Structures are given as C-alpha cells and as structure tokens.
Structure 1
Amino acid sequence: MTLTDARSGPNDRLRSARLALRLSQEEFANKVQEAGQINGEPNECTKRLVQRWESGQTTWPRGPYARALETATGRPIERLGFVPPETRVRADGRGGHDVERDPAPGTDASIVPAPGSGGFGGIWLSTYQFFSSSREGTFTGAHFVLLLQRGSTLTVRSLPGAALSEGSVLTMDLTIDRNVLTGTWVEETSPSGHYRGARYHGAIQLLSEPTGLRLSGKWLGFGKAMDINSGPWELAFQTATTNKAAVDRYSCIPSLDA
C-alpha cells in the first residue's frame, strides 16, 4: 500500500482494535484519556477525535495521543493503521542538507512530537557503544539521564549513580531542529575506574522517531592515536516526570536486560 492509498481511506485497523475491546467510540475516547493519565500525559480525547482517526481524516496523532493509544490498545502505533509523516533529506544548495517532514493531513506537527509538556524533557536511558583498545573489546556505556528543554536547546545530565561506565558523569548540549538533534557530549570517568578520571568529548547527532519515544544516532570522538572514532548512541524515553521521587528512582545502575 502506498502512502497516498493509506491516507485516502478509513483506518480499519484502529476500528478493529476498538471493536476487539468491545468499546463504543465514546468509551474508547475515555479509555485513551485514562491511558494518558497512566502515562503522566493527560489528554482530552473525545468521540469526535476517535471518529477523525477512524475515518482517516487524521492520519497521524500527536505524540501524547500516540502513546496513549499504544497504552490503551497494547499495540504499537504503527500497527494501528496510522501513517507517519514522511521524512526526507534534500540538498540545501550550499553543499549541506536539510531535513524536511511532510505533515499528515489534519495534524499540526511538522516537529516530531515529544513526551510531556516540556517537549523532550524527562528522564531517558542513554546507551552507547565504544571500542576500548586497552580492554580489547567493544563495550556499552549506560546512564539514566535528565533532559531539560528550553526552546530549541536541550541539556542532558546523567543522574547520580546511573552509570555502568564505572561511575562516569555524562553531559550533552544539543540543539533541536525538528526531528534532528545536534550537539556535543562530554564524559568524565571515575578517578578510581579503569580510565582513571580521563575526560572524553566529541560530537553527536540524533534523530527522533515519529512518536518521540526514542532518539538514535552516532557519536564522534578522538582516540589515543588522534584518529576519529564513532559508534551508535541511543536514548529511550522513561518518564516525563522529573520530581525528586522520579530522580531518586532512576538514580541507579540501568539494567540492559529489560
């Protein structure tokens, strides 16, 4: 099915998911509202909005609604018949490139929706891979990090105790351009760890997936031989709540088995 075809007809997948729950459109709207409360992202879903989704008039819900729909149905948003806005890269005529998004009809988001009322703000799980010549292997560094957004800038700071990299402290400073995040990273390793307090830094660029629940990209940084190394980096959304209780809960060593 082409993008045009998907946008021209009703959303039978969403309707089937609702009917499988034996809910009317009004009852389903209430369930989506309840799911938003569970997610910590209250919404104002109505019967009319459900009708717009099922008729195909709105082909891609905003972030909080997408996440509420996933919670309400237990299915990924991509399996509920919605079509994400198309993202493409074009030359800017000056040797560089720009990222464009085609907003779906009936949506107001040319910017990728992000969790919570604070945009990308919240607590995320940060993981990256790197090769260590001194340890002769590839390793994963992981931290729970706090993201604070102010306009188009985003600061990232690791939470106390949230490290697998021997107690290292991670920071990032990013600039947001629609679904592209670009900036720098710095990691201060533990003085008592394998890297003996070494400071590493470099550049990073991330792309946000349509629901805003995951950021993925690559890092760049200098190696011992003055070569430039790179590797994958990913941030996975955990919660939009940033109060003391949430910070205390995530001030721990992340489990990568979940």
Structure 2
Amino acid sequence: MTFQNILSSRDNGITTITINRPSKLNALNKETIKELHKAFKTADEDSKTKVIIITGSGEKAFVAGADISEFSDFSVSEGGQLASQGQALLFDYVANLSTPVIAAVNGFALGGGLELAMSAHFRIASENAKMGLPEVSLGLIPGYGGTQRLPQLVGKGRAMEMIMTASMIDANQALQYGLVNHIASQDELISFTEGIAGKIMRNSPVAIAAAISSINAGYEDGENGFDTEIMEFGKCFGTADFKEGTQAFLEKRKANFPGK
C-alpha cells in the first residue's frame, strides 16, 4: 500500500508506522489521519503483525500538532465534526485496537501529536522529547481526546495545569508523571521499543487482546471493567492459546502460541 504522508513496514512481527511530513514537523492533517487509519487497520488485520510501533520521521518531532491551516476558518458545527470524525477514525480507533500499539515519541509531541501518543497503549520517549497540549493558546481545547486521556494518565490536577498553562514538559517530567513508561536516547529509541515489543510477542496475542479490552473497559462510561474482565477471562478457556500455554507450562517448555 502506497501512502503520501506516512511510511509503513513490517519486520519480524512488528509493523512500524512512521508519520513522514518532516517539513511540517509531521503535523496531522485530514489526509494523514485517513492514511494512519488505513495503516493501523491493515496492520491490525495482518496475522503476522504482533505489535505496532507508531513514530515520527526525523529527529525534531513525533507530531508537532494538527495542521492549523486546515481549520482556522471553521464554524461551530465544522469544528465539532472535525473532532468527532478524528476521534472515530484514528484516536479512539487506535486505543481500542486488539494489537498492542507502542508510541515511540521522538521530539515534539504537541496537541494532536500528544493525543495520538496517548491513544497508543503505552509510550516510550526519546531524551529530547517535549510534550504538551497548547490548544488554549489558540482559543481552543484539545479535541482528539486530550481532556479525557491526559487526566487518566497523569491525574486531574496535573492535566488541568498542563492544559490551562499550555506548557510543555520534558521526557523526565513525563516519566515522573507516568505519561511515558521509559526514556531512551534518540539513537536507541526504536531499538529499545522493539526490545519491549519482543517481550510482548512471546505471549498469547489472544490473551493480550482480551487484556486490552478489559483494561479499556474500566475507563468507559457505562462499562463495568470487572464484568468485562470476568467475561474475557472465561473466553480465554476456549482458546487454542490457553491449551498451548497451560500444556507448555506443565511440560516445562516454551509455549508456541497459535494466536487462536
């Protein structure tokens, strides 16, 4: 599949999706969001893809925000539609994928860029990463899930401060806040992320998908995460992965999960 604004490649079970608009600091426009949706959908449906890594091209930015020129003259209804469509097509879509998604945050992750990183299942930052939601400095608020996901990750007070001051935090502060799981050097960011992906790939993809569903349910309005966990736990007993995993344990060997 050929894209204009992103790159996508699979190697050893890992699909790496790279936003490739370096002259725009990888800013998200409508076309890039559509291409990202297609790339994530293709990777999620590919049985050979076990983990997805999302990153940005170059050394300056993961994604430096949304392409403001596309919506600077929008009406109230157009603005609402922009947020609704973007969340459905990309941000909520990524958050609920059954394939694990890791954001390798290299450089600036601002506005929609940080919202994309937060949509991933977890994040790893380069030492030069800078993160923030500066929308109020433009007379806006985060519209791609930022007001919801940031408090879930860093707590209400810290999210309020970050959003209201429009300030950036560095990688060390992001690690302290729990916004990222690890920090790596710029040169080692992808290899470090691939190392964690390798650990994930040793385990049952069916069980991992069930775990993602169960964890996410605890953050959804009207959903009872405990009930979802019970349901998903029970379903695991009917899978080939469960049979292989338990048999391998009893036989004291490494499991070879079929992913079914």
| Common fold: TM-score over 0.5 | no
TM-score range, shorter chain: under 0.3
The structure richer in helix per residue is 2
Q: Which has the larger radius of gyration?
A: 1
TM-score (norm 1): 0.24
